[in-house]
Amino acid sequence: MNFFGKLSNAFHIHLGKTRKKSIPAHLKGIFRRRGTGCNALSEDCAEPVVVLAGNPNVGKSTVFNRLTGLRQHTGNWAGKTVETAEGFFRYGGRRFRVVDIPGMYSYTPRSAEEDAALKFLLSGSADAVVVVCDAGCLRRGIAFALETAELTRSIIICVNLTDEAERRGIHVDTRRLSKILGMPVIPASAAHGKGMRELEECIAGECSKVKPPAHSGISAPEEQKPCDAACAASRRILTADAVCEQCVVRDKANSRSKLDMKLDRIFTGRITGRVCMLMLLCAVFWLTIIGANYPSEWLAEIFSRLEHPLRQRLDFFSAPGFIKNMLVEGVYRVMTKIISVMLPPMAIFFPLFTLLEDSGYLPRAAFNLDSCLHKCGTCGKQALTSCMGFGCNAVGVTGCRIIDSPRERIIATVTNSFIPCNGRFPILTALISMFFLGSAAPPFDSVLGAMMLTGLICLGLAASFGVSKLLSVTLLRGTPSSFALELPPYRKPRFLSVIIRSALDRTIFVLGRAAAVAAPAGALIWITANIRIGGASLLNIICQFLDPLGSLLGMDGVILTAFILGFPANETVIPLMIMAYMAHGSITGSNDTAAIRSLLLDNGWNVSTAVCVMLFTLMHWPCATTCVTIYRETKSLKWTALSIIIPTLTGCVVCAFAAAVMRALGIQ
């Protein structure tokens, strides 16, 4: 999603002192020439450093993208940018390096990223600081700019989102604002490229000025007494109020603002908000289900036809039979199965999800779930990370960085695997269609399937909330942090940007990672199915060993073995079951739902088995990619292990209980 390392690892500076061991390679040039009068971000003193600062959700990342041409992900809710990003732009034959630091409401840091950003500014390494403000909420941006002026010089104010503010009847007199503050002020609409050339010109002018010595004797905000910090903050807010009264004009009657208020009454209402959230979720799944079926079949057919030429090519190179079969029947079939199953749903789900993000709806969803999460000992930001988990749990775990409280961040990380990712949807949808839709005629079958899938998602969310509550009163006791979330105005999504961002930042990224994991997994699966001990394959031996546990959970040993071997990628679970039931030595490419259902029924499946398999699909260990991501984020084997153990134990308990109840009721 971002191209560079964490800013929190980049700087460990205290008023100009640097510990170079903690600076990653791509930023080592920042302090390489400190003490020589060079503030450049590399050894070349002619390359000035420009810092982009500002509150969350003011379009700062969009300004960065416009200046540098890089395609960094731009979020629509507070706290989305938690990593730094770097890029370059040229103006007047000179190159400028731009550093995008995390969005902050003040310089009293609440996270490692914000603390690193503060220390970076205090170090005096920036030649110019561009404070990006939201024209529709200028008061807060001005207060932040005044606080920035206490820490560094050469400040430029970029009043962004001017077009959006004008649609809401808000007009900013930027010339008067510049005169009052004594700082350059550039009006802009970065999403449409307006004002960017003027901003580049202003940056070049500020960086060419002779800089006075940096402030001396300044104490960081966290070092100030609480009473002094509170008084300073109040003084800045009063000043910002007085400035906005002179520079901001609001239309008394504006239909756009009234429309936003009416929509918020619906989307954030106590009852209507949650109903709308369920309806939107159901609609997204319905569109994903009906849109992904045929492309998946087409891809499977194409890959099946390519298998013969691949065998011929391996024969041409005189590949040994063992290697040839392992590559074709193991690696190739597993990888192509994952691609044909994952690609179409992701190509539909991610753009739909991004449209909701771009339109400004996701913060409303977090607001609706905040009260539930607060009762569980966490806050509404966990809802946002859960939404990311629908696409990929690894992405959801990475998104937990937006949560300020370390305790709540770990809770969100551990419970994210209860959210079914894109790799689990094929299992759920296949079982729903085979065992529960029956004779429902189109389009009612897809509607009913989407409703059942939505119900399963709600069950996964309930499990996530329950485990969050359990952790908050046991291993991770503490008081829930306050949740201040800015609700952005409703915006018309930029469809071209949505498609590009969804394809590059999400679909291709997740698919590539899954395929990389699937290659060795395919080889392992083929080996277990073809190594024979005493006349039985290793795969059959494992299935028989796990059969008693599987029966206790309402399943069988084949199903548990498929889940275990599917650890690298959940998409392989059903093909593994089919392979074991058919006693094949390779993974099958069959997409005939009726044939698969008949095979499962012949091997003892019934409605009770399907229910238990769906429950275990919802609640079991995260995939290999997610486990690696959890360790990278937490740097803890303990929490990585618990992230595997907790959902697995939960799934086992739920499945055993459900199986016992259905046996007692005689459900078959």
Q: How does strand 532-533 pair with strand 536-537?
A: antiparallel
DSSP letter string over 485-504? ---PPP----HHHHHHHIII
Q: How does strand 170-172 pair with strand 155-160?
A: unpaired
**Averaged pLDDT, 194-210:** 89
Distance (Å, rounded) from C-alpha 527 to C-alpha 538?
8
**Averaged pLDDT, 184-198:** 92
Contact 509, 557 (CB under 8 A): no
Mean pLDDT of the chain: 79
pLDDT surpassing 70 at residue 5: no
The larger pLDDT score, comparing residue 554 to residue 102, is at 554
Contact 423, 617 (CB under 8 A): no
The larger pLDDT score, comparing residue 119 to residue 598, is at 598
What is the sign of the dihedral through the CA atoms of 293, 297, 302 and 306?
positive
Quote the pTM value.
0.71
The larger pLDDT score, comparing residue 11 to residue 195, is at 195
Give the range with max mean pLDDT: 48-57, 61-70, 73-82. Answer: 48-57
pLDDT surpassing 60 at residue 21: no
Neighbours of 99 (CB within 10 A): 25
pLDDT surpassing 70 at residue 283: yes
**Averaged pLDDT, 221-250:** 79
Domain boundaries, the chain: 19-255, 272-474+497-665
Give the range with max mean pLDDT: 32-36, 126-130, 352-356. Answer: 126-130
**Averaged pLDDT, 94-121:** 78
- Alpha helices for 123-161 (secondary structure H): 138-149
Look at residue 566 in the predicted model and tell me its pLDDT: 85
Q: Which two tokens stand for residue 82?
A: 């938690």
pLDDT surpassing 90 at residue 644: yes
Give the range with max mean pLDDT: 61-65, 522-526, 535-539, 646-650. Answer: 646-650
**Averaged pLDDT, 334-355:** 79
Strands (E), 280-332: none
Look at residue 202 in the predicted model and tell me its pLDDT: 94
Residues 6+ apart with CB under 8 A from 650: 418, 463, 467, 619
Percent of the chain with pLDDT over 70: 81
CA angle (102, 104, 108) in 5-degree steps? 115
Confidence grade of residue 243 (pLDDT, cut at 50, 70, 90): very high
pLDDT surpassing 50 at residue 206: yes
pLDDT surpassing 70 at residue 31: no
Residue 328 DSSP symbol: I
Confidence grade of residue 582 (pLDDT, cut at 50, 70, 90): confident
Give the range with max mean pLDDT: 46-55, 384-393, 655-664. Answer: 655-664
pLDDT surpassing 50 at residue 251: yes
pLDDT surpassing 60 at residue 78: no
Percent of the chain with pLDDT over 90: 25
Give the range with max mean pLDDT: 35-44, 278-287, 430-439. Answer: 278-287
Using DSSP's 3-state secondary structure scheme, residue 84 falls into coil
Look at residue 223 in the predicted model and tell me its pLDDT: 58
32-40, Cβ contacts within 8 angstroms, sequence gap of 24 or more: 34/125, 39/124, 39/125, 39/126, 39/127, 39/211, 40/97, 40/127
Give the range with max mean pLDDT: 12-16, 121-125, 263-267, 586-590. Answer: 263-267
pLDDT surpassing 80 at residue 208: yes
Q: Which two tokens stand for residue 332?
A: 């190739």
pLDDT surpassing 70 at residue 40: no
Confidence grade of residue 389 (pLDDT, cut at 50, 70, 90): confident
pLDDT surpassing 80 at residue 200: yes
Most distant CA pair in the chain, distance: 88
Distance (Å, rounded) from C-alpha 561 to C-alpha 544?
9
Look at residue 637 in the predicted model and tell me its pLDDT: 94
What are the counts of helices (DSSP H) followed by strands (DSSP E) for the chain?
Answer: 26, 12
Contact 89, 96 (CB under 8 A): yes
Look at residue 248 in the predicted model and tell me its pLDDT: 92
Q: Which of 97-111, 455-469, 626-640 is least confident? A: 97-111
Look at residue 549 in the predicted model and tell me its pLDDT: 94
Q: What are phi and psi of 493, to 5 degrees?
A: -60, 145
**Averaged pLDDT, 372-381:** 84
DSSP H or E segment with residue 517: helix 509-530
Q: Which of 67-71, 200-204, 576-580, 647-651 is least confident? A: 67-71
Look at residue 239 in the predicted model and tell me its pLDDT: 92
DSSP H or E segment with residue 548: helix 538-552
Q: Which of 460-464, 514-518, 646-650 is least confident? A: 514-518
Contact 97, 47 (CB under 8 A): yes
pLDDT surpassing 50 at residue 74: no
**Averaged pLDDT, 201-229:** 65
Q: Which of 182-196, 248-262, 368-382, 629-643 is least confident? A: 248-262
Q: Which of 385-389, 583-587, 660-664 is least confident? A: 583-587
Look at residue 130 in the predicted model and tell me its pLDDT: 95
Domain 19-255 adopts which CATH fold?
Rossmann fold (3.40.50)
The larger pLDDT score, comparing residue 559 to residue 597, is at 559
Look at residue 559 in the predicted model and tell me its pLDDT: 94
